[in-house]
Amino acid sequence: MTESRQTRAPVGPTTPLQYVKGVGPHRAKLLERKGLVTVGDALFHLPMRHEDRTRFTPLRAIRPGETVTCSGVVTGISPPPPGRRRQPLVILLRDESGYAAATVWGRPWIARAVQRGQRMIVHGRGARYQDKVTLQVQEWETVDAADDEPIHAGALVPVYSSTEGLPQQALRSLLWRLVEAHAHEIEETLPDAVRSRRRLLPLADAVRGAHFPTSEGARAAAMRRLAFDDFLLLQLGLAILRSRTTRQRGVSMRPRGELIARLRASLPFSLTAAQERVWQDIRRDMAAPYPMHRLLQGDVGSGKTVVAALAVCAAVEAGYQAAVMAPTEILAEQHLATFRRLLEPLGIGVTLLTSGLKGRERAARRAAIAAGEIGCVIGTHALVQEPVAFKRLGLAVVDEQHRFGVHQRARLKGKGERPDMLVMTATPIPRTLALTLYGDLDVSVLDELPPGRKPVRTEARTESRRRQIYDFLRAQIADGRQVYVVYPLVEESELIDLKAATDMAHRLQHDVFPDLTVGLLHGRLSSEDKDAIMRSFKAGAIQVLVATTVIEVGIDVPNASVMLIEHAERFGLSQLHQLRGRVGRGPWKSYCILLTSGRLGEEAQRRVEAMAATHDGFKIAEVDLQLRGPGEFFGTRQSGLPEFRVADLLRDAAILEEARLEAQTIIAEDAELRHTVHRGLRQALLTRWRGKLDLASVG
């Protein structure tokens, strides 16, 4: 199609922005940087916020440093002299309170756009120019009696995320024209019955009100409708996945239970009531003729690994293999040690597969897995990145699932014929939010700690208390306990952080505790060295273990009773909570000391206070969610779930519940949205999920 023919075609939601009057190829490229290609894209490019510029400040009340909106009649225009770029255009305005000068820098052409006698609305910051108070104009527009309502000032003014070369005012003007001309062409997606039941605006009105509301109430109603759509499309997608999963044929595993009984008899403890309840959920799922998709949520130390080992036993006894995928080599190695201790006495072969394995050894293990000689394979990403073949994979366990992208989980599942999937996380998620993020999974919660686990006393301390802290560590060690000293390690400053941890280990060994044994553990050590250090620490040969966050998950030393976290302000809340979970595993009173340096920012202060105030992982998760926001907390970018346009999981929890109920009702009546009344919803769902529907069912 030629450009001239395209230009003559009527403009609509599918029209490329390049062919909209006033855009053109150059501006279209700038808009494309923001993901705006068509008119429809632009209509749903919603403001970040609105500024209330309806309250006019009298001209005489302008004060330096204050941002205000004023309205006045133009009584004089003084452009800068030719060639004097360092002088502003000065516009003299008058209102009921008197006169004021408005200065405009770098835009002398405005002198040609403004005339004496016109009413002008200006928004800007009070300043001093040539010893007089002036208003430095950021945005402006002229208003005549016959004009449309103002959009840059004198209204609830939308503020958009901008891009270089595309000023806020130009973007706002373009969106005003597009909304006025094309908002009414947006097709309604919700059935009338749903809209009526939930008292929601029509979609076209909501888009108009989200951009250019006539009042705060109109804006709130518009945002409520768009947030409902965000949640409904997510919930519908997850409900369809759940519906498909329950219709799929999977493997039905009904072992006699001899291996399971032997494993339970070998445990030095009884399962908690929570573990029993969750294990019965899993056992029932594995026996069913369709694939299990279960999320196992349990706080640090709640005993998820034992439950996973029971599931592995059930799979192996039923004649299948199991794969356990962990996010890091050190956690995979910890799982290897645990599963070997639990399963090998029962005759179940357990092996490790990581990218660190050398060629010949890796090939031998792959061959044994393919031949079905290994019942349980523990691994990292290597399980899905390499051509690993299973003879009969029946169970896939994913630990710390938030560390994996949805594609990796899908590839692991693809190693078998619809194997059962058990997804585990030690990151507590409030139940409503878990149902949102994992709406296609059944959720089990281990909400009880094993007997003997005592709460860890948590205290925040500053650098001035270091000497007393060291005295306390020495007293604990004299009582026979052991100590972790943890240093932050982040990618941007990894070498500096590693040196700090190494220097601290050296100082503790030579200056502070010369009569004790101090060890150092970090991610750059070889697997053999890490194992040797951990074995020494577990055996009590090392009294003080200086470590980076490699010990965040999976390491279990019951005799360690103190966790000293250096530069605690640099850690995230969930990391701090995971680290604290490394102590308090024995019968002794345990402590976590958060050592901070310098003045803390507001967020860091809240993190430290939350840690000291509670041991409840769910309460900590709530604070973490508030601080980081849902996108970062859940990692929706890598999880494969669609992102929200306006919805906020915390603020809009009530709307989320409404949308979830509607989704369940709709899918119960029309599992694949084939009915005519659901045509708009189906199209919106396919657009929003864009190829993700086949993936999200793996969690």
- Fold observed for domain 457-614: Rossmann fold (3.40.50)
- Read off the tokens for 526: 């070889």
The domain segmentation of the chain, as residue ranges, is: 3-38, 55-154, 192-247+652-698, 258-287+303-425, 457-614
Same fold, 258-287+303-425 and 457-614: yes
Q: What is the CATH number of domain 55-154?
A: 2.40.50.140
Q: Which of 395, 375, 399, 388 is nearest to 293 (CA)?
A: 395
Residues in CB range of 528: below 8 A, 6 or more apart: none
What mean pLDDT is predicted for residues 302-320? Answer: 94
Phi, psi at residue 642, to the nearest 5°? -65, 150
Q: How far apart (Å, rounded) are the C-alpha atoms in residues 615 and 606?
A: 15
Collapsing DSSP to helix, strand or coil, 130 comes out as coil
The dihedral built from the CA positions of residue 50, 55, 59 and 64, taken in this order, carries a sign that is: negative
Could you tell me the pLDDT band of residue 500, with boundaries at 50, 70 and 90? confident
Alpha carbons within 13 angstroms on the beta-carbon side of residue 191 total: 16
What mean pLDDT is predicted for residues 536-560? Answer: 82
Q: How far apart (Å, rounded) are the C-alpha atoms in residues 285 and 53?
A: 58
Q: Tens digit of pLDDT for each residue in 351-384?
A: 999 887 888 888 999 999 999 999 999 998 888 8
What mean pLDDT is predicted for residues 292-310? Answer: 87
The answer to whether the beta carbons of residues 424 and 278 sit under 8 Å apart is no
- Read off the tokens for 455: 């709460």
Q: Which of 147, 113, 120, 118 is nearest to 135 (CA)?
A: 120
The answer to whether the beta carbons of residues 603 and 609 sit under 8 Å apart is no
- The pLDDT value given to residue 430: 65
- The pLDDT value given to residue 471: 96
Could you tell me the pLDDT band of residue 55, with boundaries at 50, 70 and 90? confident
Sheet with strand 482-486: strands edge to edge? 457-462, 591-596, 560-565, 482-486, 544-547, 518-521
Higher pLDDT, 163 or 581: 581
- The pLDDT value given to residue 220: 95
- The pLDDT value given to residue 636: 45
- Please state which of the ranges 288-297, 324-333, 591-600 shows the lowest mean pLDDT: 324-333
Collapsing DSSP to helix, strand or coil, 628 comes out as helix
- The pLDDT value given to residue 142: 78
Does residue 211 surpass a pLDDT of 80?
yes
Alpha carbons within 13 angstroms on the beta-carbon side of residue 59 total: 21
3-state secondary structure 149-198: CCCCCCCEEEECCCECCECHHHHHHHHHHHHHHHHHHCCCCCCHHHHHHC
E-only strand ranges, 358-501: 376-379, 393-398, 420-425, 442-446, 457-462, 482-486
Computed over every residue of the chain, the mean pLDDT equals: 85
Residues in CB range of 498: below 8 A, 6 or more apart: 489, 522, 524, 548
- Fold observed for domain 258-287+303-425: Rossmann fold (3.40.50)
What mean pLDDT is predicted for residues 68-79? Answer: 91
Q: How far apart (Å, rounded) are the C-alpha atoms in residues 608 and 468?
A: 20
Does residue 688 surpass a pLDDT of 70?
yes
